[in-house]
Amino acid sequence: MSEDLTQIETSELLEIMHDDLYDGLADEVVAGVNELLRRNLLPYEVLTQGLVAGMDIVGVDFRDGILFVPEVLMAAKAMKAGMAVLRPLLAETGAPSIGTMVIGTVKGDIHDIGKNLVTMMMEGAGFKVHDIGINNDADKFIQAVKDFKPDILGMSALLTTTMPYMKVVIQSLEKANLRDQVIVLVGGAPVNQPFAEAVGADAYCRDASVAVITAKALMEQRRNSVPV
C-alpha cells in the first residue's frame, strides 16, 4: 500500500488493509489504521472492520492450508501493530476503575490476540486488568487470583485441545477455596455457552465487547446479592 491513502474510498481502504494484514505488512496496516482514525471512524470500528475482519480471512486460509504458521505469525504481528495504535484510544475513558480482572490464555496455548483485545476493551470500559500472558497452568492462575484479588478471572483458549484445561483451573480454584471470590468468564473461538456451563464458568463471552457487557452485568448482580 504505497498510494495516497487519503484519496481512497473507505470501503476500498478496508479491503486494502485486509490484504496488508494478510501479507503481514505492519507499517501499511498502521498507516491504514491512522487514516481511518483521521476519517473519524471510532477506534472500535477500526478494530472490528479493519483488523478483526482481516484476521478472519487469515483464519480461513490457515484452516484451508493456504497459509502456514510463519505467514500467520507475520499477520499476527501486523495485527498487533495496528492494535498498539488503538490501545490508548480504547483505554481513554479517564473513569476510575470499576473493577479488577485477571486474564490469561490457558496451558498449552500461545494464541494471545483475542485475549489482548479483551484486555484493551475491558481497560477501555474502566477495569484494571492484570494480563498474565499465554500458556498459564492452574498454579499461575491461582497465584494471580491471590496476588491481585480480582473481581473477574478471564480465560482464553483457541484450540480444542487446550479448552478443556479451563475446567482444571476452575477445579483448582475450588480446591483453593477461591471459586466464590471471582466471576469466571471464558472465551476463544472454539468455546461456546454449553462448554462454559459444563466446565463451571459463570459465563461465555463471544467477543471482547460481550466480555465487557457480561463483566459489568455479573458484577452488578453480585453487588445486589450481597446482604446489607
Query: Would you tell me which residues interact with ligand B1M (CB under 6 A)?
Result: 52, 55, 58-59, 62-63, 69, 72-73, 76, 103, 108-115, 117-118, 154, 156, 158-160, 185-190, 205, 207-208, 211
Instruction: Rank residues 5 and 166 by Cβ distance to ligand B1M and give the closer one.
Output: 166
Neighbours of 25 (CB within 10 A): 20
- Nearest approach in angstroms of CB 90 to ligand B1M is 12
- Nearest approach in angstroms of CB 73 to ligand B1M is 5
Cβ(211)–Cβ(154) below 8 Å = yes
C-alpha cell at 94: 479517564
Backbone angles phi, psi at 152, to 5 degrees: -125, 140
Rounded alpha-carbon distances, angstroms, from residue 149 to 130, 168, 181: 10, 20, 8
- Nearest approach in angstroms of CB 4 to ligand B1M is 29
The CA distance from 35 to 8, in Å, is 10
- Nearest approach in angstroms of CB 93 to ligand B1M is 19
Q: Where do we find the cell 476519517?
A: 39
Instruction: Rank residues 86 and 186 by Cβ distance to ligand B1M and give the closer one.
Output: 186
Instruction: Rank residues 13 and 55 by Cβ distance to ligand B1M and give the closer one.
Output: 55
